[in-house]
Amino acid sequence: MAAVPHFTVRRRTLLHGGAAALALPLLGLARPLHAQPGAALASLRARRLQPGDTIALVNPSGAIYERMPYEIARENIEALGFKVREAPHLRARYGHFAGTAEQRASDINAMFADPGVQGILAVTGGSGGHRILPLIDYAAIRRTPKFLGGFSDLTALVNAVHARTGLITFHSPMGASEWNDFSVRHFRAMVMDAAPLLLSNPQDKEDALAPKANRITTLRGGRAQGPLVGGNLAVFSALAGSGHWPRLDGAILFLEDINEYIYRVDRMLGTLQLAGAFSRLAGVVLGAFTNCGPGDGNYGTLTLDEVFDDYFKPLGVPVYSGASFGHIRRKLTLPVGALAEIDADAGTLRVLQPPVA
């Protein structure tokens, strides 16, 4: 009999992704990667977004306890040139969730089915996205593919939808995120212009001789190609062994996290390793691990650099860290499932196919 999973509740910041993330490592339940549903599905692309399109705001994860984030999200989307539709249960609450699992899933299903909606964007993250995955109508999504975006706890939904339908989804800023010039330019280039794009960190030095921000570190050099999959480490590792995990054979895995002690980062990477996630990767890109430190009283802890070295250097594939995605101000938009090329020496990703039609 498999061991009973251990639940660990982690605090998260509402601004960057909500109230709490629930990690569920399934060490004893992992199946071979080749047995995952969706592994043989052909790539499916949504229609590119155009000015005047309607974007549905949904909240598949954590509750929002203030009114202002909804207003900020609406103003952001309108400033991007879109119309806004609020999903029926957008402002619902059930405990710390943004409504029951049934309410949240019904909003996703309804907005994909609504012919007047061209794209779907989460307002914020939080926790609880894993609860809605069994309730999503994946067959219907495959019939009516649309833009779907978000990050943090949305890692569960964007990866599950890609795994179960083949649809290219997006690890992108959310409605209530800070939509600065860098984030807006990359979002528009990815989901509106539909052009192959070089993804790299901001190049400004911020008036410093040796800038501290936007630096990349090459753990192992080289180039490789493969589909992009990943997102928030805590959420992605919680999908391990489930039917909602994307295909990892030959993939470029990208990971980020926030507010995790280093020993927890180590444990979650260990979950992925034991589940076979690292065995056939083409490359790895590590984004921001914001506020991930040793914690009080953790004598002699490994550094994040050492943890990353231990797990990723032995893989023999290109790996770099410090990419501009995650719980930071300026964010790249990454297409989950799109073919890309990693250049770990330059610290770049090049998207090789238009991620939208």
Establish whether 152 is a catalytic residue.
Answer: yes
Q: Which residues have a Cβ under 8 Å from the Cβ of 42 and sit 6 or more positions away? A: 166
Establish whether 327 is a catalytic residue.
Answer: yes
Active-site option among 61, 106, 127, 152:
152
Of 317, 302, 148, 149, whose CA–CA distance to 223 is shortest?
Answer: 317
The C-alpha atoms of residue 241 and residue 230 are separated, in whole angstroms, by: 14
Q: Calculate ∠ Cα 326-328-330, nearest 5°.
A: 100
Active-site option among 256, 321, 324, 341:
256
The C-alpha atoms of residue 119 and residue 131 are separated, in whole angstroms, by: 22
The percent helix, strand, coil of the chain (3-state, each to 5) is 30, 20, 50
Please report, for residues 66, 123, 337, the alpha-carbon distance to residue 71 in angstroms, rounded to integers and kept in the order given: 10, 10, 31
Establish whether 256 is a catalytic residue.
Answer: yes
Structure-block tokens of residue 12: 């998260």
Is residue 125 within 8 A of residue 158, CB to CB? The reply is no
Quick count: other Cβ atoms within 10 Å of Cβ 88?
14
The C-alpha atoms of residue 98 and residue 95 are separated, in whole angstroms, by: 8
Please report, for residues 151, 318, 340, 349, the alpha-carbon distance to residue 199 in angstroms, rounded to integers and kept in the order given: 17, 16, 10, 5
The C-alpha atoms of residue 171 and residue 169 are separated, in whole angstroms, by: 7
Name the DSSP class of 34. G
**DSSP notation for 335-353:** EET-EEEEETTTTEEEE-S
Q: Which residues have a Cβ under 8 Å from the Cβ of 4 and sit 6 or more positions away? A: none
Residues 248-274: b if buried by 16+ CB within 10 A, e if exposed: beebbbbbbbbbbbbebbbbbbbbbbb
The C-alpha atoms of residue 5 and residue 242 are separated, in whole angstroms, by: 13
Which residues are known catalytic residues? 152, 256, 327
